[in-house]
Structure 1
Amino acid sequence: MLDSLLIEIGTEELPTRTVDELAQAFAGGIIEGLKKRGFAVDGEAAKVYCSPRRLALWLAGVADAQPDQAIERRGPAIAAALDASGQPTKALSGFAASCGTTVEALQRLETDKGAWFVYRAEQPGQPLAALLPDVIGESLKALPVPKPMRWGDHDYAFVRPMHWLVILHGSRVIDAEIFGIASGRASRGHRFHHSGPVAVDSADAWLDALRGARVLADPAERRQRIRDEVERAGREIGATPRLRPELLDEIANLTEWPVAIRCTFERDFLRVPQEALIMTMETNQKFVPVFDAAGKLTEHFIGIANIESADPAEIRKGYERVIRPRFADARFFYDEDLKAPLESHQPTLANVTYQQALGSVWDKTIRVAELARTIANRVGVDAALATRAAGLAKCDLMTRMVGEFPELQGTMGRYYATAGNEPAEVAEALDTFYQPRFAGDGIAPGRVGQVLAVAERVDTLCGIFAVGQKPSGNKDPFALRRAALGLARTLIESGLSLDLPALLADALGQIPESALAAGMPKPKEGAPAFDAGQRRAELGRELYDFVLDRLRGYYTDLGIAPDLFEAVRALAPGDLSDFDARLRAVGEFARLPEAAALAAANKRIGNILRQAGQVEFGQIQTNLLGTGAESGLHDALVNAQAATAPLIADRTYVAVLKRLAELRDPVDAFFNDVMVMADDAAVRQNRLTLLAQLRQLFLHVADISVLQAA
């Protein structure tokens, strides 16, 4: 018989950030356990439910017993199972006894790897009721619970103490005991609206039964109610609430019957930077901020209560009372910070260790400022502004506001720099140089911010690699992968034309030799003396490759095929904006009808040149060219070289490759009619030179020989 199955684990309030993960893991474990035991379970149709006090799973069409099980156990090999006279050995007799049968009842299994005795039997399927307790136990044991709790005088350990257990197959209760709690059909409703048990008639009636007891057990329904409630409150206020997805998730896992409460605070608090007020509301209190039409924070906010109160004004007073001292603290921090200019914090940076071998945060600031000056001069940005921004970039770390809200670093730097009458470009850079802060975030919009973003990340990468703490496996404590991707994105998306290997060399040149030596393994006795120059060169190559490795994933996310990336990667362009231009040109070239044939020809040319070995390629001797295809390719090559030279100089790579696509016919004709490896050494050398120049012409853009046929 097939029927719906409902399993509900009732607990004390679960950790907010883990509710969804636990629910999915619990459901996945149940489904996997049932499938492993032969039950046909439709995982796609499964309904995963959760709330702050429960994890639950509903499955449709679950059989009341598993199908009959075919058992096959392989015993000893025949050669070891029978003695010289053909009688069973102790190994065979013992195997038969362990299977509960006789030697005569065993069968033989013949394979190309040998022959064995086997035991085969048909075992009747066990009832669901007999198997389900173990399935549930296995699923709960496998949940990602880093610090399980114990309660009472029990030995049980779980994420939170468990208080009830509902297991229904159709309308029938399946008996089980988990953590000392016996299963039944009594669930629990809302802690305040319906504190008593909730009788559930069947698995299909569970969701409605809880809804009647003021519990929205469906997380999607609960989230939608929160959205609706927030929108309703926003309409009543006449302004626009901002409900971030992360905040929605937290509120949904804090409430079972959410109700929006409109609240206000004193307008005087609005002189505090709104980012600090918003962070207090969202992070500390789980309140929803409200904005006016211009995107400015208003004195309104929305709290989400877990109760439909007969006197919402009292809840409102409580929410307003709890937010007031936090806002007062933020106002105090802000006012105190404004009493001293941002640069006054520079001396204290010398007392904060950045990394033991690399010195203090002030030491890092000096290195970054020098890099920013160098970069600014190379890309035509005001070096004085870039250096000033670099000198102030870490100062807000020492302010009271950032000490209380570390997430506001950069943001508060911008506010304090503006208050101190720093140039607008400097103030903006102090905030935006942290961009991109997360996946999907944009790069710094202004040139000074972009210069500072590059300088900061280059110094971080060079310094941490130098001291031997580069990422390993899943470990990346300094977020160097993110720094490398942010560096690459800034260079590409800003169009800043910089020689990255040269910039890495500049940055490594500022790393103290003691730090370079600290990152090396202890030298063995008799080993050559430490060479700082050689170490810097090695690190420069390693760091360049590290940055390009991050780019591979970046372009994959943009839908650019790996072979296109490798075609440009083979040339290792130092300028990443140039790398990007080449890559996009190769993408357009790959769509041309001539692309596949020219890619194959380039691959063939590369193989021929490699097989030819060390050949000194000089000038093409026209007197050695044969008539027809050989002269035709030479003439086409000369014309293409002349036509593409100015295009290559201007980096108009799309035009270069479209012009080179015209070489398909003469290249095809050459390979059809000409024997490259001629017996005459001079002719052979001349033809190899012709092919080498042809390949070099394509290599001005990319190595198209690695392109895959469409």
Structure 2
Amino acid sequence: MSHAKPLLIELGTEELPPKALDTLAKAFFDGIIAGLKQQAFGIAEEDQGRSARHFCSPRRLAVYLPWVTTEQPTIESEVLGPAVNVGLDADGQPTQALRGFATKNGVAPEQLERIVTDKGERFVHRSTRPGQPLANLLPQIVEDALKGLPVPRPMRWSDHDYSFVRPAHWLVMLHGETVIPASLLGLESGRLSRGHRFMHPQAVSIDSADSWLEQLRGAKVLADPVQRRQRVSEQVSAAGKTSGGQPRLSDELLDEIANLTEWPVAVACAFDREFLEVPAEALVTTMETNQKFVPTFDADSGRLSEHFIGVANIESRDPAEIRKGYERVIRPRFADAKFFWDEDLKTPLTGYQPALAKVTYQQSLGSLWDKTVRVAELARIIAGRSGVDAGAATRAASLSKCDLLTRMVGEFPELQGVMGRYYAQHHGESREVALALDEHYRPRFAGDAIASDRIGQILAVADRLDTLAGIFAVGLKPSGNKDPFALRRAALGLARTLIESGLVIDLPATLIEALELIPEAALIAGLKPAKGKPQAEVVALDAGARRQTLAGELFDFVQERLRGYYADQGFSTAAFDAVLAVRSPDLVDFDRRLRAISGFAGSPAAASLIAAQKRVSNILRKSTETEDGQQDRPGSHAIRPELFESPAEAALADILDKLSRDNSERLRQADYVGVLERLALLQGPVDGFFDEVMVNAENPAVRANRLALLESLQQQLLAVADISRL
């Protein structure tokens, strides 16, 4: 085996986009690994305590491998040629086929060998090619890895004809202590890296691949993103203690700050207390989103304090100047937020309702006010059926989009709902209405909780029902990766709200009601005439039939969103499909069935009953074909005890009759665990029936009676789920 050394590749650039930095670094690492493996170089991702890693900072992408061979292994190849009887003519001379094969492999026909295969004797060309050095192939591997990076809009700079995510300035490629020559992105590789832009602007000559990380640390660059995150966290915590507050540093903000700094230093700052009159969410959004500052909360009350923490990319000799700069930057932003707040308070939310009619929601679906009216009607219907104050639900729905027109939400769209709650509280709306204006947007993201209050839950359901019904109606349902209206998220949010809140509705029927509120013009807009058919035929289609079709599509769409939801909780695909086959219209009921059937699947009786259900389904499916080719009506056979010819038939009939009576009440109470526990009583009678009874008896009456028994058995087995799918 050839000698092996650690490998370092570092590309230096202008400041890279912080939110894409980790993705770019990982993709660069994966590309290098893939290229080395494709070229058969030996690599180790762990060696003597050193690990293969990708590194990055705002101005660099780097890959380190602790062990890479200096050259490829010797490559031996064996290429089969034509059969001997094809390669030689009657006189034993090479045929055209053999000469062509030899020429293709760069040898004379007489240099070819013969081997015996399972298809007879054939010519073969064997060759040995020495492996190439890493130095010869690494430049192309690196170039391919760079081309494979997920860069949606690459930049060009100077008069070069190449491009990259940002202009590139230096390239280090070291195998051990040896520079590997390469020319990429207009750069010649070497051992010169660069330190911190301000604290160590001089070039840094890297001694070896193993010394790179520590040499950069000496030049005030923490190239390890893990170490940078840790330093940011520690610095922020220490700065928070100086002000006596509790910093709130989210993972997202931590990642962004770490990717904006090469040598992070936290600075404790403060703003004027008068700004605390503005809702905390607005101030926090300004700090985190616009300025990348860390807000600080009072340790006792949990309220936002006037202290905040900025993270500089420099260890300044005069931190007070940096503090002044941060405080000077944040003041006008907070002043704007206070102005928006004060101005918005002058108009009650109801004052924005007329303006909603002037804002288009979707061309065929009308304005935001049109949507509000539809949502309010759905909320009224659902609340009335759920025993909830329909007036409060309707009031919340009528105000739910008003804050979109406020100055604050116009500046900070992410505060939609949050500001609605504050404005509603200020103008005397009830607590439950105000809370619903905020929480009906929940869940806002994966892992977010649903609305905590019943009015908010009903409004969340109504809003998503209208969105799904309307966008499906106009023919803009998701396709492939395209989902511009975030309907998949809306469907999952709808399903989660119903299931996790225990809100019981007949979803297909409610979808029909949502579609009935959609204008018929929108239903027509979503239809396309068949090829060669006039538009008039589309217009003439029955709107009711169109709504029925769309409701079925929407119900399937919502249920399918639950597949991943339950998979994340550990439920099997088989159990999910077993319950899906029942098409329960109530998702709370769906959830109960799934949890019951998942427990049943591992019980001792399950395997026998699953096999029985499969066998019953096959028998009944074949038996429905009558002699004239028509389908016999399922359930048309009546059980007649006088036709029993075996004790096994009577035993099965007795237990089925008992289960039918026992389980009817359990099914009404959705006690699916109890139903399945009772099904275990079927195991013995079912096994006995199939052991002793021939279903397809010659006597038609006896055969029909036995099929009736199987139909009754199937009804019991399908009472909770289609267990044949387990």
The CA distance in 1 between the partners of 2:180 and 2:73, in whole Å, is 19
Alignment of 1:217-616 (within 5 A): 217-293=223-299, 294-523=301-530, 524-525=532-533, 529-613=540-624, 614=632
The CA distance in 2 between the partners of 1:219 and 1:9, in whole Å, is 16
User: Which range moves more in the overlay, 223-232 or 77-86?
Assistant: 77-86
Q: For 2:158, which of 152, 163, 179 is the aligned residue? A: 152
Q: For 1:203, which of 203, 206, 209 is the aligned residue? A: 209
Deviation at 1:449, TM superposition (A): 0.6
1:633 to 1:94, Cα distance in 2 relative to 1, 3 A: closer
1:401 to 1:80, Cα distance in 2 relative to 1, 3 A: farther
Q: Counterpart of 2:610 in 1: which secondary structure?
A: helix
The CA distance in 2 between the partners of 1:83 and 1:33, in whole Å, is 45
Alignment of 1:90-101 (within 5 A): 93=99, 96-97=102-103, 99-101=105-107
Deviation at 1:583, TM superposition (A): 1.3
Alignment of 1:26-37 (within 5 A): 26-37=28-39
The CA distance in 2 between the partners of 1:40 and 1:216, in whole Å, is 29
User: Which range moves more in the overlay, 647-656 or 221-230?
Assistant: 647-656
The CA distance in 2 between the partners of 1:279 and 1:645, in whole Å, is 55
Query: 1:226-278: CA deviations, max 9, x gaps?
Result: 11111111122211111111111111111111111000001111111111111
The CA distance in 1 between the partners of 2:45 and 2:120, in whole Å, is 40
CA contact (8 A) 2:45 2:66 kept: no
Q: Counterpart of 1:290 in 2: which secondary structure?
A: strand
The CA distance in 2 between the partners of 1:41 and 1:15, in whole Å, is 30
Alignment of 1:64-103 (within 5 A): 64-72=70-78, 93=99, 96-97=102-103, 99-103=105-109
CA contact (8 A) 1:148 1:157 kept: yes
Deviation at 1:188, TM superposition (A): 0.9
Which residue in the other structure is 2:127 paired with? 121
CA contact (8 A) 2:45 2:67 kept: no
User: Which range moves more in the overlay, 151-160 or 560-569?
Assistant: 151-160
Which residue in the other structure is 1:682 paired with? 701
User: Which range moves more in the overlay, 16-25 or 250-259?
Assistant: 16-25
Amino acid at match of 2:638: Q
Q: Which runs of 5+ in 1 are unaligned?
A: none
- Given the alignment of the two structures, is residue 697 of structure 1 paired with residue 704 of structure 2, yes or no? no
CA contact (8 A) 1:129 1:174 kept: yes
1:73 to 1:404, Cα distance in 2 relative to 1, 3 A: farther
Q: For 1:52, which of 41, 44, 58 is the aligned residue? A: 58
1:561 to 1:11, Cα distance in 2 relative to 1, 3 A: same
Deviation at 1:224, TM superposition (A): 0.5
Deviation at 1:314, TM superposition (A): 0.4
The CA distance in 2 between the partners of 1:159 and 1:136, in whole Å, is 15
Amino acid at match of 1:333: F
Deviation at 1:700, TM superposition (A): 2.5
The CA distance in 2 between the partners of 1:178 and 1:106, in whole Å, is 42
Amino acid at match of 2:568: D
Q: Counterpart of 1:389 in 2: which secondary structure?
A: helix
The CA distance in 1 between the partners of 2:485 and 2:592, in whole Å, is 31
Amino acid at match of 1:606: S
Deviation at 1:633, TM superposition (A): 1.6
Alignment of 1:179-190 (within 5 A): 179-190=185-196
CA contact (8 A) 2:637 2:707 kept: no
Q: Counterpart of 1:298 in 2: which secondary structure?
A: strand
Amino acid at match of 1:550: R
Q: TM (normalized to structure 2)?
A: 0.93
The CA distance in 2 between the partners of 1:83 and 1:472, in whole Å, is 61
Which residue in the other structure is 2:628 paired with? none
CA contact (8 A) 2:637 2:704 kept: no
CA contact (8 A) 1:617 1:692 kept: no
The CA distance in 1 between the partners of 2:235 and 2:82, in whole Å, is 69
Q: For 2:42, which of 40, 43, 52 is the aligned residue? A: 40
Deviation at 1:509, TM superposition (A): 0.9
Q: Percent identity?
A: 62
1:25 to 1:349, Cα distance in 2 relative to 1, 3 A: same
User: Which range moves more in the overlay, 608-617 or 468-477?
Assistant: 608-617
The CA distance in 2 between the partners of 1:423 and 1:698, in whole Å, is 49
The CA distance in 2 between the partners of 1:105 and 1:250, in whole Å, is 64
CA contact (8 A) 1:31 1:43 kept: no
Amino acid at match of 2:468: L
Which residue in the other structure is 2:627 paired with? none
Deviation at 1:171, TM superposition (A): 1.5
Query: 1:445-489: CA deviations, max 9, x gaps?
Result: 111111111111111111111111111111111111111111111
CA contact (8 A) 2:646 2:692 kept: no
Q: For 1:664, which of 683, 694, 700 is the aligned residue? A: 683
Amino acid at match of 1:254: L
Q: TM (normalized to structure 1)?
A: 0.96
The CA distance in 1 between the partners of 2:427 and 2:642, in whole Å, is 76
Q: Counterpart of 1:23 in 2: which secondary structure?
A: helix
Cα RMSD (Å) of the superposition?
2.1
1:688 to 1:95, Cα distance in 2 relative to 1, 3 A: closer
User: Which range moves more in the overlay, 454-463 or 164-173?
Assistant: 164-173
- Given the alignment of the two structures, is residue 141 of structure 1 paired with residue 147 of structure 2, yes or no? yes
1:124 to 1:612, Cα distance in 2 relative to 1, 3 A: same
Query: 1:122-167: CA deviations, max 9, x gaps?
Result: 1111111122111111111221222222222322311122211211
CA contact (8 A) 2:154 2:164 kept: yes
The CA distance in 2 between the partners of 1:12 and 1:115, in whole Å, is 63
How many residues of Structure 1 are paired with residues of Structure 2 in the alignment? 707
The CA distance in 1 between the partners of 2:76 and 2:479, in whole Å, is 46
Q: Which runs of 5+ in 2 are unaligned?
A: 625-631
User: Which range moves more in the overlay, 161-170 or 487-496?
Assistant: 161-170
The CA distance in 1 between the partners of 2:348 and 2:85, in whole Å, is 90
Q: For 1:628, which of 622, 647, 657 is the aligned residue? A: 647
